[in-house]
């Protein structure tokens, strides 16, 4: 292979835990366990959030609905390790099978997460579990939040173009339930109504098949860091979300989308498919209005939100997979858009080949 050739996403693999909970049932369970610590106002907000029709169900890396309420920090990181490896390996296996690629053809493995920290990283566990070569180049990316899948692919793209033709596997995995906390805090109430667990893997290579990775763009707004982030309290992660987050995300998303499209002399109307991250109903609506998208262009995003909620970084791959299954014509453009901690926004321009 000649260095500098184009990068293609050959296949995607997805995985979610088998423990699925309907949203109304999740709300009832959470209220039963937390009513003693919530104000009347917070309880009312929680009931409205869990009754909202945008989310129907979510999946969690749990054996039952009760264990999460009595989990100590050591048990929690043990659960994160177990499930992050299990879901990642399932997603990678599906992606490799879909691409017709054997494990010994994988040269690079890139894994991103923000919901747990282990050392050595998840990548080394996957090398062992999947039987990858011990010479595999492995990278673990931390702290990119819900937008982490696209920076992961940006690294993969660079490595494909300078590599020897071997396959690169990008993995996004989040066990959001491993950061579960509850208090009389609107950020935590919103988080507990929104996030689920899951993993996604993409196989990238120089073989002309699937989706060409045309270009990508990232945009960081450090001054808005406090609007969306994890904070540490007593050695544990707490999700911090501002009630004004949608105002900041819509601007960052519009900025990154417009920059990327203008670089290729493209407009909104030129993009046939939109893989927009499921950041939540209010954020989706804000981005829709800011960029000028139609409801039809958000069908895949809303479908994934309904079935899985927001799984953080893997979610945008779930939306992309839905679009692929729905059908793309040759030369159709697709734009992946994700956003999260930083505050950051990312976009990736794809073309069906």
3-state secondary structure of 273: strand
CA distances from 64 to 17, 19, 314 (A): 12, 7, 23
**Per the domain annotation, does 2 fall within a domain?**
no
| Mean pLDDT, residues 318-345 taken together | 97
Cα 285 versus chain centre, distance: 19
Same domain? For 67 and 41 the reply is: yes
Percent of residues, the chain, with pLDDT higher than 90: 92
Consecutive H or E run containing 207: none
d(CA 147, CA 312): 7
pLDDT tens-digit map of 144-184: 999 999 999 999 999 999 877 789 999 999 999 999 999 99
d(CA 15, CA 201): 9
| Mean pLDDT, residues 125-130 taken together | 98
Query: What domain range includes position 37?
Result: 8-205
d(CA 175, CA 196): 7
Same domain? For 221 and 159 the reply is: no
**Per the domain annotation, does 3 fall within a domain?**
no
| CB-based contact 167:203 (threshold 8 Å) | yes
| CB-based contact 12:320 (threshold 8 Å) | yes
pTM: 0.96
DSSP characters over 161-193: HHS-S-EEEEEEEEEGGGG---SS-HHHHHHHH
| Mean pLDDT, residues 182-209 taken together | 95
Of 189, 205, 221, which residue is a domain's last? 205
d(CA 326, CA 307): 16
How far separated are the first and last CA of the chain, in Å rounded?
19
| Mean pLDDT, residues 117-135 taken together | 97
| Mean pLDDT, residues 55-77 taken together | 94
Same domain? For 65 and 172 the reply is: yes
Cα 197 versus chain centre, distance: 10
Which of the pair, 163 or 37, is modelled with greater confidence? Answer: 37
Nearest CA among 57, 15, 51, 22 for reference residue 303: 57
d(CA 67, CA 349): 41
Same domain? For 198 and 253 the reply is: no
Structural domains counted in the chain: 2
pLDDT tens-digit map of 232-246: 998 889 999 998 999
Mean pLDDT of all residues belonging to the chain = 95
Of 157, 174, 205, which residue is a domain's last? 205
Q: At residue 203, what are phi and psi to the nearest 5 degrees?
A: -100, 120
Same domain? For 192 and 229 the reply is: no
Same domain? For 201 and 217 the reply is: no
Q: At residue 52, what are phi and psi to the nearest 5 degrees?
A: -65, 135
d(CA 201, CA 12): 6
Of 205, 220, 249, which residue is a domain's last? 205
**Per the domain annotation, does 42 fall within a domain?**
yes
d(CA 299, CA 275): 10
Q: How sure is the predictor about 5, in pLDDT bands with cuts at 50, 70 and 90?
A: confident
């Amino acid at each position: 292979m000649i260095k500098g050739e184009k990068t293609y996403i050959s296949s995607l693999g997805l995985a979610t835990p088998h423990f699925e909970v309907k949203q109304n049932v999740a709300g009832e369970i959470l209220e039963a366990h937390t009513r003693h610590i919530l104000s009347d106002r917070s309880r009312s907000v929680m009931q409205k959030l869990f009754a909202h029709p945008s989310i129907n169900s979510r999946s969690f890396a749990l054996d039952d609905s009760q264990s999460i309420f009595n989990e100590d920090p050591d048990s929690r990181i043990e659960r994160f390790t177990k499930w992050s490896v299990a879901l990642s390996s399932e997603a990678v296996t599906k992606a490799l099978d879909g691409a017709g690629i054997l494990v010994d053809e994988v040269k690079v493995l890139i894994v991103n997460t923000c919901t747990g920290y282990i050392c050595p990283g998840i990548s080394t566990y996957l090398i062992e579990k999947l039987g990858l070569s011990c010479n595999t180049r492995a990278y673990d990316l931390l702290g990119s939040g819900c937008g982490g899948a696209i920076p992961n692919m940006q690294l993969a793209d660079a490595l494909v173009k300078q590599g020897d033709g071997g396959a690169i596997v990008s993995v996004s995995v989040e066990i959001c339930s491993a950061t579960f906390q509850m208090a009389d805090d609107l950020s935590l109430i919103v988080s507990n109504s929104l996030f689920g667990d899951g993993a996604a893997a993409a196989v990238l290579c120089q073989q002309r098949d699937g989706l060409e990775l045309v270009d990508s763009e990232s945009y960081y707004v450090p001054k808005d860091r406090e609007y969306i982030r994890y904070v540490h309290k007593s050695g544990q992660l707490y999700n911090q979300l501002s009630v004004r987050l949608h105002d900041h995300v819509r601007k960052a998303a519009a900025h990154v989308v417009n920059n990327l499209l203008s670089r290729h002399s493209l407009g909104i109307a030129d993009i046939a498919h939109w893989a927009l991250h499921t950041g939540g109903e209010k954020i989706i609506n804000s981005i829709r209005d800011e960029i000028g998208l139609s409801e039809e262009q958000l069908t895949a995003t809303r479908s994934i939100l309904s079935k899985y909620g927001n799984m953080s970084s893997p979610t945008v791959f779930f939306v992309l997979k839905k679009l692929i299954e729905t059908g793309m014509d040759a030369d159709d453009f697709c734009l992946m858009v994700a956003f999260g901690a930083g505050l950051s926004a990312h976009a990736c321009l794809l073309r069906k080949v």
